Amino acid sequence: MITSWISTLGKFFIMLGRAFSKPESFKEYNKAFWRDLDHLGVDSLGIVTIISVFVGAVVTIQTAYNLNDPLIPDYYIAIATRESIILEFSPTIVSLILAGKVGSNIAGTLGSMRVTEQIDALEVMGVNPYSYLILPKIIALVFFNPILISLSMFLGIVGGYVAASFGVVAPQDFIQGLQIEFNSYYVVYALMKTVVFAFLIVSVSAYYGFFVKGGAIEVGINSTKAVVSSSVAIIVANYLLTQLLLV
Amino acid sequence: MIEVNNIKKSFGSTEVIKGISANFKPGETSLIIGSSGAGKTVFLKALVGLHNIDSGEIVYDDRQLGKMDEDERTALRTEMGMVFQGNALFDSLTIEENVSFALNMFSDMSEEEKRDRANFCLKRVNLNNVGHQFPAELSGGMQKRVAIARAISMNPKYLFCDEPNSGLDPKTAIVIDNLLQEITQEFNITTVINTHDMNSVIEIGDSIILIKDGLKAWQGTGDDILTTTNDDITDFVYSSELFKRIRRNT
Ligand SMILES: Nc1ncnc2c1ncn2[C@@H]1O[C@H](COP(=O)(O)OP(=O)(O)OP(=O)(O)O)[C@@H](O)[C@H]1O
Ligand SMILES: [Mg+2]
C-alpha cells in the first residue's frame, strides 16, 4: 500500500519532470497551446457563467433569510455574499466543477491516445509525448483559470444583485454593502489558489490518462479516477493554502 | 546496420523474448515472421526502444540504444519511421497533418514544401484527395497506407513496419510491398517488417527471421525458405495447402 503510493508519486513527478523540458518546436507547441486553451478554457465559459449567476443568487437569498433580524443592516447581506463568492465559491467550487469537466476530458483524451498507441507513435518520431501533450495544457489552464474565476466572481455578485433586487434587499443597500470593508487581498488570495488548482487538475488528470493500461474500459475507469483524485487534491490544497495565505 | 545481441524481454513473470540476436542491413528488407503471439510486435517495439529490454543490447550504426542520453535518442528517432500494427494515427488531426507531423516538428521546410512532401508520400501509397479527411473517415486499409506515408515522410534511415499489408486486398498489398522494397533500395534504408503474408516473404524478403516461442527458430533468404527442411519453417509456411502444392512442384 505505502510502496504503491510512493511509486505512484514517483511516477507522477517523473512525468512532470519530463513534461517541463525543452519543446522540439515552439511553433507546434504554440499551436497545441491555442488548441488546448480553446477546448479546456474557452469551452468552459458557458458552464461557469450559468453556475456562477445562479449560485450567487442562491447565496444572497439564503444569507438574507438567515440574517433576517431588524438589528442587522441589510447591506450585511451583500458583504456576506461577496465574501463567500470571492473566498470560496468561485475559486474552489468552480475549480471542482472544472476538475470534472476538464479533468475527465484530459484523462479520456490522453488515455485513448495511450491505448491506441498514438503516444508510442509520438515517441518513435522523437517527440517527447510528456511535454507535447501535457505542457501546453498546463500553461493553458494555469493562464485561463484565473480569468474564468474572475469572471465567475463578477457574475456571482451580479447574480446576487439580481436576486436581491427581487425584493430581498434594496439595490442601493446591496451596492453599498459590496463596497464596505472590501479587502482586495482576498481576490489576490483567491486567484493564487486557482493557479494551483489549475495545475493540479491538469497534472493529476494527465497522469491518469498517460498511464492507462488496457482498453476502452480502463480509459473510462481512469477518467473517473482522474476526477476523484484531482478533486481531492483541490480540497486538500485549498486547506493548506488557506492556512498559508490567510491565517 | 542494426545489431541485436541476445535481447530478452519479460512482462511480469512471462518471458516473451527469450534471447534473440540478429543483424539488419541497410538496403535490405528484413522480414520477421512467426505465428500470432510469437512475439513479433514485442520484438519490434523493443528494437525501437518502446519496450525497455531486460538484457542484451541493440546497436544502431555504432550507437548503443541503451546508453543514449535524451538528445541522442531524439536524434536517432528522427531517423526512424514506424508503422504500428494498429496504425496509431493521430485521430484529432487530418490525414495531411498526420503525414506532415514530423516535418512540422523537426524540419525547417516552408508550409508549401511540407504540403507537397505530404501529398507526395500519400501518392506513393496510392492515396489521392484524402488530405483534408480525418482518420476515422477512412477504411482500415486506407488508414494503414496513411500510416506508411507518415512513416516515410522524413526519409527515414531505419524503417519499421508491423504488418504493413494486413487488411489490404492482394493488389494493394503488392503495391505496398513493392513500395517498401523500392524505397529501401533507393534510399539504402534499413527496413524491418513483421508479417504473416507469405506473398511478401517470397517477393521482398531479402532476409527472413522466424520467431517461435520468443526465440529465433530459423534465418535465411526468400529463396531458402522454399527449399529448407527446417521443421519450424515447413510447419509455419506450409500450413496452407497452396504453398504445399507450390513446394511439391519446385
Ligand atoms: N504489454 C504487454 N504486457 C503483457 N504481455 C504482453 C504485452 N505485449 C505483448 N504481450 C504478450 O507477448 C506475447 C507476444 O505478443 P506480440 O504482440 O509480440 O505477438 P505477435 O507475434 O505480434 O502476434 P500477432 O501476429 O498476432 O500480432 C503475447 O503472448 C502477448 O500476450
Ligand atoms: Mg503483432
* Global pTM value: 0.91
User: With 70 as the cut, is the pLDDT of residue A193 above it?
Assistant: yes
The residue-averaged pLDDT of A126-148 equals 95
Q: How far is CA A27 from the centre of its chain?
A: 27
Cβ-nearest to B105 among A24, A118, A120: A24
Tell me the C-alpha distance between A86 and A50, whole Å. 17
The verdict on residue A53 lying in a domain is yes
The verdict on residue A10 lying in a domain is no
**Bridge pairing between strands B55-60 and B80-83:** unpaired
The interface predicted TM-score (ipTM) is 0.92
| Pair B214, B193: CB distance under 8 Å | no
**8 Å CB contact of B70 and A21:** yes
Q: What's the pLDDT score for residue A213?
A: 93
Q: Which three cell numbers stand for residue B172?
A: 494493394
Identify each DSSP E strand in chain B by its residue range: 2-11, 14-24, 29-33, 55-60, 63-64, 80-83, 158-162, 190-194, 207-212, 215-220
Triad B12, B14, B18: Cα angle to 5°: 120
The verdict on residue A229 lying in a domain is yes
The verdict on residue A67 lying in a domain is yes
A128 CB neighbours in chain B (<8 A) are: 74
* φ and ψ at residue B222, rounded to 5 degrees: -60, -30
Q: What's the pLDDT score for residue B197?
A: 85
Cβ-nearest to A116 among B73, B86, B105: B86
| Pair A186, A86: CB distance under 8 Å | yes
Cβ-nearest to B105 among A116, A118, A127: A127
Average pLDDT over chain A, rounded to an integer: 92
Q: Which domains does chain B have, with CATH numbers?
A: 2-79+157-248 (3.40.50.300), 89-155 (no CATH)
**8 Å CB contact of A124 and B86:** no
- Calculate what percentage of chain A has a pLDDT beyond 70: 100
Chain A: closest CA distance from residue B88 (Å): 5
What is the residue-wise DSSP string for B57-100? EEEETTEEGGG--HHHHHHHHTTEEEEBTTB---TTS-HHHHHT
The verdict on residue A131 lying in a domain is yes
Q: What's the pLDDT score for residue B29?
A: 95
Q: What's the pLDDT score for residue B240?
A: 66
The verdict on residue A240 lying in a domain is yes
If interface means Cβ-Cβ distance under 8 Å, which residues of chain A face chain B? 21, 24-25, 27-28, 113, 116-118, 120-121, 123-128
Tell me the C-alpha distance between A53 and A80, whole Å. 16
User: With 80 as the cut, is the pLDDT of residue A186 above it?
Assistant: yes
* Cα A244 to Cα A161, A247, B224, B230, distances in angstroms: 32, 6, 75, 74
Lowest mean pLDDT among A204-213, B142-151, B153-162, B194-203: B194-203
Q: Which three cell numbers stand for residue A5?
A: 503510493
Burial (CB count within 10 angstroms: exposed 0-12, middle 13-18, buried 19+), residue B129: exposed
Give the count of alpha carbons within 13 A of B81, CB side only: 28
Nearest atom in ligand 1 to the alpha carbon of residue B12 is 4
B80 touches chain A (CB under 8 A): yes
Structural domain boundaries, residue A240: 25-245
**8 Å CB contact of A124 and B77:** yes
The residue-averaged pLDDT of B184-193 equals 94
- The secondary element (H helix, E strand) that includes residue B147 is helix B140-152
User: Between A171-179 and A129-163, two packed helices, what is the crossing angle to 10 degrees?
Assistant: 130
- What is the pLDDT confidence band of residue B115, given thresholds at 50, 70 and 90? very high
Residues with C-beta less than 6 Å from any ligand 1 atom: B 11, 16, 34, 36-42, 85
Q: How many CB atoms lie within 10 A of CB B128?
A: 8
Q: What's the pLDDT score for residue B31?
A: 95
As for how many domains chain A has, the answer is 1
A114 CB neighbours in chain B (<8 A) are: none
Output the CA A72–ligand 1 centroid distance in Å.
Answer: 73
Looking at the DSSP bridge assignments, the partners of residue B211 are: B216
